Amino acid sequence: MLIVKKFGGTSVANKERIFNVARRCIEDYKKGNDVVVVLSAMGKYTDELITMAKDINDKPPKREMDMLFTIGEQMSVALMAMAMDSLGVPSVSLNAFQVAMHTTSAHGSARLKKIDAARIRRELDNRRIVVVTGFQGIDKYNDYTTLGRGGSDTTAVALAAALHADACEIYTDVDGVYTADPRKVPKARKLKEITYDEMLDLATLGAGVLHNRSVEMAKKYGVPLVVRSSLNNSEGTVVKEEVTVERMLISGVALDTDAVRIAVIGLKDSPGVAFKLFDTLAKKNINVDMILQSIGRAGTKDISFTVHEKDLEDAQKAFIQAVESGETMTMAEADEHFHDVIYMGTGNTRLVQILNNLREQMYRYRLEYIKDAEKRQILLVEHESILRAIRSRHVAEAKEAVRAHIDNQEITVSKNIKERE
């Protein structure tokens, strides 16, 4: 029997937990099973790497961040192999390059394309436990990439599919899938089993126990999943195509605090419009979660959807690049996009509608302001102040930054108009 086991950062956060995981894997190994282990970075080590990077460069390149992130998982797998060796069991640690795990080149959100399973099979044939880095891959340029949120889950499921594993066990700090987050809802109940589709709904809506991409892959390739705790031996939750128990109307609820809602008001109600919108987002590697369409007015429709909060930072980066280009129209469009992300993120459709009605007038004033080369650098600083306040969830600071931003532009535009008169 071939078993793929994935352990998250909390499961390998310190020496004691590393040895706990090692012993659990060795139990299955001594029963005659082939064992492949996928690990995340230890504890909060990824956060420490982000802090170190930001201390050097406030906006580090995504390629270099991927290069840095791979340290975390490589440290985990090496220490795990050492722990198993000290317990008298042969093992080998492998990173994404050594396997190899081929991905797209979208740094920070790469997609797995193919896994070469030959190296892993060779090590298993030599009766070794194979310990593999999760979350990472290599692109066609042999550059390291990372798979984004829940990447280690995706790695584990992909390996299980490539190796035709008999089981894929996902170990977390909770002992299964609950009807709600048990840390927030004390009366939440653990589910004995759940379908792929139900689990996918929960994962898409923010349940942290499994990432939606891993569930999609498990369903596509028929990989049997079990969600269990690494801290105890209780039975977990089985994720499969069909369940045998009586079906409930609602299987569970989930919460995602990192989503931004965007509403596009007044789109032309004709075939292909929605496709163009989401195709543009896809080309920018922006993942869209929930989508809601509603009938608008006079041949129009409204579309609302959610994206990850970091996309606001991407909008600011696009504006910086536009300023560096020196092209007035490009700068105006990038500035408009930055503000649109903020407007739409409020979820206030009435506000967005009013601003859309004023779009042409606002655009003329925006051009007037951007023509002044000295004001462009002020815009960059003001945008960064707004972004910093939003990022830190500081409401008063955000209001103050926006107010100052509006006042400065009003003063400059009024002055320019008076000088013309």
Measured CA to CA, the distance from residue 142 to residue 250 in angstroms comes to 45
Average pLDDT over residues 170-179: 83
Q: Report pLDDT for 246.
A: 43
Contacts of 344 (CB under 8 A, 6+ apart): 260, 261, 262, 263, 264, 352
Percent share of the chain, pLDDT over 70: 73
pLDDT at residue 332, rounded to an integer: 74
pLDDT at 265: 67
Q: Into which CATH architecture does domain 2-172 fall?
A: 3-Layer(aba) Sandwich (3.40)
Note the pTM of the prediction, 2 decimals: 0.62
Provide φ and ψ at 66, rounded to 5°: -65, -40
Where would I find the H helices in 326-372? 328-345, 349-357, 359-370
Top pLDDT among 200 and 118 is at: 118
Q: DSSP class of residue 380?
A: H
pLDDT at residue 335 is higher than 70: yes
Q: What is the pLDDT of residue 253?
A: 44
Domain boundaries 309-421, CATH class: mainly alpha
Return the domain boundaries, the chain: 2-172, 258-306, 309-421
| Cβ-defined contacts of 26-35 (< 8 Å, 24+) | 26/84, 26/87, 26/89, 26/129, 28/3, 29/89, 29/129, 32/1, 33/1, 33/2, 33/3, 34/1, 34/2, 34/3, 34/124, 35/2, 35/3, 35/5, 35/129, 35/130
**The listed CATH number (3.40.50.300, 3.20.20.80, 3.30.70.260, 3.20.20.70) that belongs to domain 258-306:** 3.30.70.260
Lowest mean pLDDT, pick from 126-135, 226-235, 305-314, 398-407: 305-314
Mean local confidence (pLDDT), 35-48:
94
pLDDT, tens only, 263-310: 666 667 776 666 666 666 666 666 666 666 665 556 676 776 666 656
